[in-house]
Chain A
Amino acid sequence: MLALLPGLLVKLATRGARRLGLMPQSTYVHEIMQALKRGDLDEAVSVYRLCVSRRQASNITEVARELIEQFVDIRVDKLQSRIDEIENIVRARKSLHARLRRWWARVLGLFGRKPLPEARSESELRAELAEHKAMIEGLLTIKSCLKSAG
């Protein structure tokens, strides 16, 4: 039993020090990088906030913050390009050609012909659009929180 005690104490002490933000900043930076490699933005941000909760950010921590910001920017860019894509689809559906196509499909349907395969409905696209916009807003909030935490 006594042989287990040192290990237990060391583990408890390091765990406590980590939670209190007392470990060396490189430990937290390493954790941030691991989280970014996994694509876990929430974890990266929470570890960063823990890292700068008690001490001023060192140079290496500032670099880690910029890397998190890059990660956010990349995600925002991807979402923005998807939003542009959806907006183009929605705009194209309002064109005269698209309306005539839909009308023709309905006429064919009246005569028992198999209608053309339906593309995703406009409401679905609009829901996706709203979701992406909300995600961008969330990501930008995370980015501004990072700056204020540092």
Chain B
Amino acid sequence: MKKRVTKTAVAGGVGFLGGLLLEQGLESLTGLDFVDGVFAVGGSVLAAMHVNRDLVEVASENIKAMFGKDPLEITEDDWKQYKAKYPKSAVYLEKALGV
């Protein structure tokens, strides 16, 4: 009985180590994380949903760096200046923010 338990435990341990080695070996050989692959398509769909927010965030940071003010604090002249220089971004922001 004792001998059988020992044998089972050893076989289980060897199997576990073998599986671990196989997984690590495959990952290091291919450089891929297999679970991520399944999520890649989902990732691109999510990216499409996040684009709008990303664009507004980056534009907001740019406006802050350009005028030294928070986008909510810029004057109409500042906005006109921005719009003249970057018309597409300005129109996009106006639409996105419902201005």
Q: Which residues on A are within 8 Å of B, measured CB to CB?
A: 4, 6-12, 14-15, 23-24, 26-27, 29-31, 33-34, 36-37, 59-60, 62-64, 66-67, 69-71, 73-74, 77
Contact = CB atoms under 8 A, between A and B. Distances in A.
B40 interface: yes
Given A33-B58, A66-B86, A27 B47 contact: yes
Instruction: Report which residue of A34, A62, A64 has the largest number of chain B beta carbons within 10 angstroms of its beta carbon.
Output: A64
B82 to A, nearest CB: 9
A70 B89 contact: yes
Contacts, number: 89
Given A8-B32, A8-B37, A33 B51 contact: yes
Contacts of A11: 32, 34, 36-38, 40
A34 B41 CA distance: 18
Interface residues of B, number: 28
B44 A14 contact: yes
Nearest to B46: A30
Nearest to A36: B58
B32 to A, nearest CB: 6
